Amino acid sequence: MKVYNLICEHDHRFEGWFSSEEDFKSQNEAHQIGCPVCESHAIKKLPSAPHLSLSGMQAAKSEVEQVQKQFLQMVRKIVANTEDVGERFAEEARRIHYNEAPDRAIRGVASAQEFAALSEEGIDVLPLPISDALKQPLQ
């Protein structure tokens, strides 16, 4: 079993387990490996250097891992405590804002134009790109 430290095009770091180097290469070339944070398939293997002393970098790595962990916890809490209205997000946000629908926390999909229109109407929305992988329960 090979364990590799991987990184996506958006600098999200994660770990991957493969039966061999060839297994990693074939899965990566077939775009079967996805970043657990943003679902990007542009994945690179980070160099491993177990013989180097990186004690000064351990604190920075630990901080990055802690921030990533907190971000994932926050996203999962948002997903658990909001209603997914999907493509109807802009319409539902307006209905809530104008008291035409019950006040509740929602999430969904909106285009850049819809987001701008909601903001112009004084409707507070927060764009938060959430990977579909984060919307599922952890194994």
Would you state the pLDDT for residue 42?
A: 94
pLDDT along the chain (139 residues), means of 10: 90 90 93 90 82 60 81 86 93 96 93 92 86 58
Would you state the pLDDT for residue 68?
A: 83
- Cα–Cα dist 123/138, whole Å: 33
Bridge partners for 107 per DSSP? 84
pTM, 2 dp: 0.53
Would you state the pLDDT for residue 57?
A: 66
Would you state the pLDDT for residue 138?
A: 47
User: Are the C-beta atoms of 108 and 89 separated by less than 8 Å?
Assistant: yes
Sequence-distant (6+) residues with CB within 8 A of 82 are 105, 106, 107
Of 123, 105, 37, 41, residue with least CA distance to 73: 37
Instruction: Retrieve residue 16's tokens.
Output: 């991957």
Would you state the pLDDT for residue 100?
A: 97
